[in-house]
Amino acid sequence: MSTTIDKHLVDQAMDAYVDWRELCRAVQEAYERWTCAPRSRAGIAFREYQDALVREEGSSLQYAVLVRCLGQ
């Protein structure tokens, strides 16, 4: 049974890793949009960048929990 649980955890961790990497890319794209935004859109672009950072942080924490579970 532990093999099934470990495989399930590995699958979850891999999915979480992929999600995290996609969100890392989204952060980079949001940052680029913010730095290139015209003054009239800079505030909105900055808020979008902050939102992307929050999503990426949450995803990284989820991934970290799963990796810790695999290490036990």
Tokens for 13? 């961790």
Tokens for 72? 């036990």
**Structural domain containing residue 32:** 2-70
Q: Which residues contact 42 (CB under 8 A, 6 or more apart)?
A: 34
DSSP state of 39: G
Per-residue pLDDT, 3:
63
Per-residue pLDDT, 33:
98
> Which residue type is seen at 57?
E
- The torsion region of residue 38 among left (phi > 0), alpha (psi -120 to 50) and beta comes to beta
What's the predicted TM-score (pTM) here? 0.87
Number of domains in the chain: 1
For residues 72 and 70, give the distance between their C-alpha atoms in angstroms, rounded to a whole number.
6
pLDDT, averaged per 10 consecutive residues of the chain (72 residues), comes to 77 97 98 98 98 98 96 81
Per-residue pLDDT, 72:
76
